[in-house]
Structure formats: C-alpha cells, structure tokens
Amino acid sequence: MTTVHICPKCEDQVQISQPARLNEIVECAGCHCELEIVALNPPVLALAPEVEEDWGE
Ligand SMILES: [Zn+2]
C-alpha cells in the first residue's frame, strides 16, 4: 500500500510505499527533488540535502 503526502517544495502529491522507513529517500514526481522521510507518525517529508554532484557551477 502507499500513502500520499505533499511535497514541501512544489506541493505536488508524493506517494510513499508502506511500510516506510525513517530516513528513506523518495523522489517527488513533480519537481524531481529528493525527499527524506524525517518522521513516521505521522509521516513528514523534508527536502533531502544535496550532497552529490550538484555542488559547484
Ligand atoms: Zn516536488
């Protein structure tokens, strides 16, 4: 089953497969940002820090 949440960046709907895990990363289909599950009861999504190749110009 999945639950539906709201992307904190673009406010599109984001589906999370349950059971979700804390700190799991999901991708928003609307803005393609990575979202981290920072709480489970109730589930809360936060923008995941970009630590990969997106730094620099
Ligand atoms: Zn989004």
H-only helix segments in the chain: none
Segments making up each domain of the chain, as ranges: 2-47
Of residues 30, 34, 32, the one with CA closest to residue 47: 34
- Both structure tokens of 17: 């497969």
Calculate how far, in angstroms, residue 38's C-alpha sits from the geometric centre of ligand 1. 16
pLDDT at 20: 93
Q: State in Å: Cα 41 to ligand 1 middle.
A: 21
Q: What is the pLDDT of residue 22?
A: 96
Separation of CA 52 and ligand 1 centre (Å): 18
The reported pLDDT for the residue numbered 24 is: 95
DSSP state, residue 29: T
Q: In angstroms, what is the span from residue 57 Cα to ligand 1's centroid?
A: 23
- Structure pTM? 0.79
CATH number of the domain located at residue range(s) 2-47 in this protein: 2.20.28.160
When pLDDT is cut at 50, 70 and 90, the band that residue 49 belongs to is: confident
Q: Which helix (H) or strand (E) holds 43?
A: strand 43-47
- Asked whether the predicted pLDDT for residue 2 surpasses 70, the reply is yes
Handedness of CA 25, 27, 28, 31 (dihedral sign): positive
Tens-place pLDDT, residues 8-45? 999 999 999 999 999 999 999 999 999 999 999 888 99
